[in-house]
Each structure stands twice: as structure tokens, then as C-alpha cells.
Amino acid sequence: MVEAFEILGHAFFGMIAGFLFLWAFVELLNLNENNVKRMQIATSIASASGFLGLIFGLSYYLEEYGVKDTGDKYIIKGGDWWWAHAFFTETKEHFAIMGFFLMVIILLLVWRVDLVANHSAKKAATWLMGTLVLGVLILEGYGAIMAFGLRIGLGGT
């Protein structure tokens, strides 16, 4: 039950972060005095959600996934899709940590700089927001491959 809560929380908050970063990205493409507040709020909630997604993911990894011999990690490694851990989980860990720092930069950028007046800063925020959207999509995809790896490891097809 706790495992389901952690993994669903991880996927849920990650997805919410992705949608809200996409929302903020679209707002940035047509930024003006009327929607700047909305973009800032969307970015802040997205970052908070992304942070929660990381916490849930970390908790799941430590409490369930990586438990010696019985954790999901060992089930995946024992199955035909063993590389779902060896490549996708391993890289996902590091992408997620870097995503945390990228969220700090984007928060500083949207709250500390007048993006409506400063076109260079707006362009920077758009690029970083786009990178975060793409990053969340990659992380979600990697998570799905890990889930398939677990299913295969449990004898499913």
C-alpha cells in the first residue's frame, strides 16, 4: 500500500510538474503584463510539484525499490529487461538530481527579473522552461520503461 502511494505520488507530481512547466512555457511565448503573474505562479507550483515528485521517488527508491534481494530493483535485474535498471534507472537518478538545480535557476529567473521588459531574459526563461518540459517527458518515459521491466521480471509479457 505504501509502495503504491509512493510510486503513484512520484508519477503524479512529476506529471503535474510537466504540465505546469508546459503551461508556463506557453505563457512565456506570449508574455505580457497580463499573464506574467500567471506564468510565475505556474512555474512556482510546477517546481514545488517537481520537488515533491523527487521526494516521493527518493522515498520509493529507499523504502521499496532498492531493498536488498526483495526490492523491485532485484526483480527487474533478474528479468529479461534487466537493462531497464542498469541503464534507465541509473541515468534517471542523475537526471532528476540535475532537474532539481534547474528548477532553482528557473525560479530565480522568473521572480527576480522583469521578463516582460528584458527580452534576453525572456528568451533564457523560454529555453530553460522548454528544457524542463523535455526533461520531465524523458523522466516519465524512463519510469514507464522501469515499470515494464518490473512487469517482465515478475513473469508478465
Partner 1 sequence: MSKDGSMDSWILGSSFAFIIISILNPFIVIGKEKSAGFKDFFVNLGKVLGMEHHLYGHLWFFIILFVIFTLLFAYTTLGESIANALKIDDYAKLAYWVVGSVLFFFVIISFFFLLEVLE
Binding footprint of partner 1 on the chain (CB under 8 A): 58, 61-62, 66, 83, 86-87, 90-91, 93-95, 97-98, 101-102, 104-105, 108-109, 112-113, 118, 120-121, 123-125, 127-128, 131, 135
Q: Which is nearer to partner 1, 2 or 97 (CB)?
A: 97
HSE, CB side, 13 Å, CA atoms: give it for residue 41. 5
Cβ within 8 Å of residue 73, ≥6 positions away: 65, 66, 67, 85, 89
Shortest Cβ distance from residue 106 to partner 1 (Å)?
10
Q: Tell me how crowded residue 29 is: count the other CB atoms within 10 A of its CB.
A: 10
Shortest Cβ distance from residue 73 to partner 1 (Å)?
12
Do residues 17 and 53 make contact, with C-beta atoms less than 8 angstroms apart? yes
| Rounded Cα–Cα distance for residues 65 and 61 (Å) | 4
Shortest Cβ distance from residue 122 to partner 1 (Å)?
8
Is the dihedral angle over the CA atoms 145, 151, 153, 156 positive or is it negative?
Answer: negative
Shortest Cβ distance from residue 80 to partner 1 (Å)?
14
